[in-house]
Every structure is written in structure tokens, then in C-alpha cells.
Chains A and B, each alone.
Chain A
Amino acid sequence: MIRLAFATILLACSALGHTAGFDYKLAANEVRPGVFVVSGVNDDLTFENGGNILNTGFIVTGDGVVVIDAGPSRLYGEQLVALIGQTTDEPIVRVYITHHHPDHFFGLQAFDGVEHAALPQTINDLRLLAEGYSDNMYRLIGNAMLGTEIVLPTLAASAGTLEIGSRKLELLALSGHTESDLAIFDTTSGVLFAGDLVFHARAATTPHADIEGWQASLKTLDSLGFEVLVPGHGPVSENNAPIVETASYLDWLSGTLASAADAGLSPAEVMFIPVDARFRNLAVVTNEFQRSVVHLYQALEAALLPATETQ
């Protein structure tokens, strides 16, 4: 109770310190005993949503709280810390960042005195990309980024089983959405945090995607025998439908781009190919498809332009 009061005071102080502070209105949804998901909206990054377009989560282990992803900004991180404080008396011991995209890690700044872990490749990528992400996030979500500074994960995570408190967590080092994607499977509760390898009711994003590797990772996730699936973006599911949805969208995407390249379409023509009816209900699909053309089409195009003897 004292802890709860303390957290409330902290929250009040931070609100006073930054009167224009963006209120994310975070709420924790207990999907299995002691396993919580904090859900954002299925949208692009906007001023209105402050970058809260993802799912973060935390697991109360009996020996401290393990957090999965820190959110898009300092304010998000602070509000997540406060929310965890209101939910449990256990201290936060570690935050895992699933991959290097900006909506998932900038909140790390709020997790003081806690281990910040990510796969080694993710840490390397963030060293190169964090600065650019920061500029971009200030532009995209505006005030919600107030006072956000770059704090990078320092603890290199590796694949394998982590026994902590009453939990047995399986860490999976996968790839495909980015060069390294961490998924965390709580074998004790059956909850799988899939990170951005799985999207649900929202089109997948591909700025660093390798579709073949991504499909292989989805097969791995599908074989885990989970009870609850927490996608990186979109509603929590009790079955594998989001995995199937992500896999078939990626399959359509890569097939469409490949046949467009074969037919000699220019990238701007490809962008206006209608999205297959199966995927038109996915949030922001037109925008994501056009972004994917920029991410993926150039390489397909170049591969079909044979070098000619220059005269």
C-alpha cells in the first residue's frame, strides 16, 4: 500500500514537472495470472496516439518483474513503470527490448537501475540507428517525445531458458522482421510475446525485413504450443490466427512484388496495385504496402537489370 501511494506521488510529481505531459492512459490486461499486456492502438505513429501503437507486457515472476519492451518515449516508459507499480509490489528487475525499432525502446530511459537487455545484434543496430530514430520520432509523435533521450540496452541477451522466480521463460533469438528479433515464451503460463514477428489485424511493417527468414521464424513460433499469443501490434489472441494472417500477408506481398518486377513495373506503378481482398481489412494496409515497395522492390528490380557491356 505504501508502495502504491509512493508510485502515485511519483506520477503526480512527473505530471507537475511536465505540465504538457502526454497521458498515454495505459492499462494492464492480465491475460494469465501474473502476466500482463499493455495494448496500444493499431495505427501509424501520430501526435494523437503519442506512438502508443504497440503491445508491451510484463511478467510477475515471484522474484521481480520482467518487462517486455519499453514503448516509444520517456513519458510512456514512466507511465509504464507507474502502472507496474500499481499492479504489483515486486520490483522491476529487467527489461527486454524485442528488436531495434523506435516504438519499442525509447521508454528504456524511465527504467532506472534495472537491467536493459536485448539480443547483441539489436544492441549493435541501435548504436547506429538510435540517433536517426530520435529525430524521426520527435517529428512523428511531437510532444509525447518531450524529454526523451537515447538510452541503449547494454545487457546482451542470448537464446535459451531463463528460470526466474516461479517462471521458466524461453528466449528465442529469431529474425526476419529485423536482423534480430527476440520472442519470449513464458512456458509456465503459456503466454508467448512474439514481438513484431507477429502483427494482428494490422499490416506488417518491413523497413528491415527479410521475408524468407521471417516466414521461418513464424513457423518456429507456431510450433511452440502457446495458449496466449501477444503480437507486437494488434489484439491478443488465444490461437495462432495472427501468425497465419501475418504469414499469408507476407506471402502475398513478396509474390506480388516478384511478379511486378518480372513484368517490368516501375515502383510507383507497383504502389498502386490493389491490395488483395483478404487483407483490405488490415489497419493501415495501403500505407504499409506502399512503404514496403520502397523497402523491398528496389533489390528485386536491380536483380533483373543485367549489367550490359558499356560501349
Chain B
Amino acid sequence: MKLIRTIAAAALLTAASSNAYAVLSVKDPLNSPAWSYMAREYFADDTVSFSDLVKVAAAPHAEDSMNVPVMVDATALDDVQEILVFADLNPIPTVLRFYPHSMEPKIGFGLKLQQGSPIRAAVKTADGQWHVGGTWVNAAGGGCTAPSVGSGHSDWASRLGETSGRFFAGNNDEGRMKFKVMHPMDTGLADGIPAFFIERIEVKDASGDEVGVIMPFEPVAENPVFTVNTPGDGPVSVSGRDNNGNRFKAEFAR
């Protein structure tokens, strides 16, 4: 268990409201100046530990601050309820929440970084505990306060919500699927451009049952591509909406 630094000792669990302070007593492996604030903001009184079982793959240098590729893999943990991705030093730290239901707790996407920052995934298991993994990414900056590229093109409105995707049988993961939604994902931080972003995506199986939900926030990259693994063997649909009520839906055969 040397990989997991359990922050809240058993004794502390009985003392309500002390855990948010307990988390501060363990050194943040990424040594971020904002960790204590993040811990209070996101986890309040929940139990939190740093864990190498939560893998966040991202290159140490962001070549493009507007689209930093990230892959979160929490398949080493059982009973994952939620994956929360955040970047401590982003002006809008919350990047995405993913509720995998019956999907694998693994998701790839791109995000915008305003400056060098830890990128973390906090994974909530059925016992209510959070397991946090992460990595530092250095960035030249400007990813969040620059206008989206697409909204500068005249055809962005006609392609808004256009959804494309497919399954990839050749992947080592079963049910590997990628889909892309045309959307400017404006953060609201660029001058005169209000926040405009996809806020909910439901993934459903052939019988219409929800197998997972992705809730992107402003920092997710423009025209986002999501990489996920879906269960079963029938077609899968993705449907969603943005914060202005625009809806999109598409179905992909295996």
C-alpha cells in the first residue's frame, strides 16, 4: 500500500468535518500552490487520498495550450462512481465530470490550459472515498482567454452540434469508441464572448439505457473528441446539450 497515502486516519473518520484539514496535512505529490484550496473546494468533508492507481496521461509540455491531450484511466479501481478532472491553476479549474455507470472508468479528451498547472483526476469509489492522481503540464499560456478558432469561421453556426464517431475494433480495449462534437466551447473569458459550452452528454446502449454521462465544463477543448470504452455489443447513441439549450444526438453502430 505504499502507493496510496491515506490521508484520513481511521481516528479522524469519526471526527466529522476534520478531513478537509486532514488532507492538508499530507504533502501534495505535485507540490501545487493551490492544492489546499482545491481540496476544500471539491472534497469538503469527504475522505481523500493521493493514489497511483488513478493514471493521468499528459505530455509534460503543452505544445498547443488550446488543446492539451489527456487520458484518465481509473480501471485499477473498483466501483468507480465519478471521475472529476480539474486543473488547479486554470482560471476555471473544473474541466470535466464523468459518471461511468457501466462504462469503463477511462476517458480521453483535450483541454485548454491558461498556464502551467497540475492536471488531476479525482475518482470517487462506491465507498464515498476520493482517489486523486495527476501530472504537471507546462504551458505557454493563453488557452482559456483566447477566442475559439472555429467561431472565427463563418460556418461554425451551421455545423454546431454536428456529431461524428465510430467504434475501433482494432483497439486493445473492448468497446473502444471515439466521437467528436462540433462546438466552440467558449470559456467566457475572451473579451466580449460569453461562455458557450457543451454541459451534458449521455451515452446510451441499444435499449436506450444510460451507460454513462459526461459533463464537460468550459476548459474542454473546442470541437472536442472523446475517447471512451462502452459495454455490450449493440449500437451506442450519444446525446447532449450545451448551456444555451442546443441539442445534438448521434448513433454509432459497432
A residues with CB within 8 A of B = 136, 139, 207, 262-269, 271-272, 287, 290-291, 293-295, 298, 301-302, 304-311
Contact with A along B175-204 (1 / 0, CB 8 A): 011111000000000000000000000000
Docked complex Cα distance between A310 and B179 (Å):
12
Docked complex Cα distance between A305 and B165 (Å):
5
The reply to whether B178 and A305 form a contact with Cβ atoms under 8 Å apart is yes
B160 to chain A: closest residue by CB: A310
The reply to whether B250 and A309 form a contact with Cβ atoms under 8 Å apart is yes
Shortest Cβ distance from residue B94 to the other chain A in the assembled complex, whole angstroms? 19
Is B64's beta carbon under 8 Å from chain A?
yes
The reply to whether B69 and A268 form a contact with Cβ atoms under 8 Å apart is yes
Is B168's beta carbon under 8 Å from chain A?
yes
Which parts of B150-185 form the interface with A (CB within 8 Å)?
161-168, 170-172, 176-180
Docked complex Cα distance between A125 and B178 (Å):
34
The reply to whether B249 and A305 form a contact with Cβ atoms under 8 Å apart is no
The reply to whether B63 and A291 form a contact with Cβ atoms under 8 Å apart is yes
The reply to whether A266 and B71 form a contact with Cβ atoms under 8 Å apart is yes
Write out the residue numbers on chain B whose beta carbons fall within 8 Å of the beta carbon of A310: 161-163, 248-250
Knowing A264-B176, A267-B108, A269-B108 are in contact, say whether A308-B163 is a contact too (CB < 8 A). yes
- Report the stretch among B12-20, B38-46, B53-61 that lies at the interface: B53-61
Knowing A290-B63, A310-B249 are in contact, say whether A263-B168 is a contact too (CB < 8 A). yes
Show 26 residue pairs from A and B whose CB-CB distance is below 8 angstroms, ordered by the A residue.
Answer: A139-B140, A263-B168, A263-B170, A263-B171, A263-B172, A263-B176, A266-B108, A267-B69, A267-B108, A267-B110, A269-B227, A271-B59, A272-B57, A291-B61, A293-B69, A302-B180, A305-B166, A305-B225, A306-B164, A308-B165, A308-B250, A310-B162, A310-B248, A311-B249, A311-B250, A311-B251
Is B67's beta carbon under 8 Å from chain A?
yes
The reply to whether A268 and B57 form a contact with Cβ atoms under 8 Å apart is yes
Contact with A along B56-91 (1 / 0, CB 8 A): 011101011001011100000000000000000000
Shortest Cβ distance from residue A85 to the other chain B in the assembled complex, whole angstroms? 36
Which of B61, B70, B249 touches A287 (beta carbons < 8 Å)? B61
The reply to whether B108 and A268 form a contact with Cβ atoms under 8 Å apart is yes
The reply to whether B168 and A269 form a contact with Cβ atoms under 8 Å apart is no
Which of A271, A295, A305 touches B57 (beta carbons < 8 Å)? A271
A136 to chain B: closest residue by CB: B140
Which of B57, B179, B251 touches A269 (beta carbons < 8 Å)? B57
Docked complex Cα distance between A109 and B163 (Å):
49
The reply to whether B164 and A308 form a contact with Cβ atoms under 8 Å apart is yes
Shortest Cβ distance from residue A289 to the other chain B in the assembled complex, whole angstroms? 9
Write out the residue numbers on chain B whose beta carbons fall within 8 Å of the beta carbon of A304: 166
Write out the residue numbers on chain A whose beta carbons fall within 8 Å of the beta carbon of B69: 266-268, 271, 293-294
The reply to whether B63 and A268 form a contact with Cβ atoms under 8 Å apart is no
Shortest Cβ distance from residue B118 to the other chain A in the assembled complex, whole angstroms? 15
Docked complex Cα distance between A263 and B70 (Å):
17
Write out the residue numbers on chain A whose beta carbons fall within 8 Å of the beta carbon of B21: none
Shortest Cβ distance from residue B76 to the other chain A in the assembled complex, whole angstroms? 16
A140 to chain B: closest residue by CB: B140
B250 to chain A: closest residue by CB: A308
Write out the residue numbers on chain B whose beta carbons fall within 8 Å of the beta carbon of A305: 164-166, 178-180, 225
The reply to whether B170 and A264 form a contact with Cβ atoms under 8 Å apart is yes
Shortest Cβ distance from residue A45 to the other chain B in the assembled complex, whole angstroms? 12
The reply to whether B178 and A264 form a contact with Cβ atoms under 8 Å apart is yes
Which of B63, B70, B71, B225 touches A301 (beta carbons < 8 Å)? B225
Write out the residue numbers on chain A whose beta carbons fall within 8 Å of the beta carbon of B35: none
Docked complex Cα distance between A6 and B11 (Å):
79
The reply to whether B63 and A307 form a contact with Cβ atoms under 8 Å apart is no
Docked complex Cα distance between A26 and B199 (Å):
55
B229 to chain A: closest residue by CB: A264
Shortest Cβ distance from residue A29 to the other chain B in the assembled complex, whole angstroms? 32
Write out the residue numbers on chain A whose beta carbons fall within 8 Å of the beta carbon of B164: 305-308
The reply to whether A262 and B170 form a contact with Cβ atoms under 8 Å apart is yes
Docked complex Cα distance between A310 and B165 (Å):
11
Write out the residue numbers on chain A whose beta carbons fall within 8 Å of the beta carbon of B64: 294
B172 to chain A: closest residue by CB: A263
Write out the residue numbers on chain A whose beta carbons fall within 8 Å of the beta carbon of B168: 262-264
Write out the residue numbers on chain A whose beta carbons fall within 8 Å of the beta carbon of B176: 263-264
Write out the residue numbers on chain B whose beta carbons fall within 8 Å of the beta carbon of A311: 249-251
Docked complex Cα distance between A117 and B162 (Å):
45
Write out the residue numbers on chain B whose beta carbons fall within 8 Å of the beta carbon of A293: 59, 69
Contact with A along B240-254 (1 / 0, CB 8 A): 000000001111100
Top-9 shortest CB links A-B = A264-B168, A266-B108, A267-B69, A266-B227, A268-B71, A294-B63, A268-B69, A290-B59, A305-B164
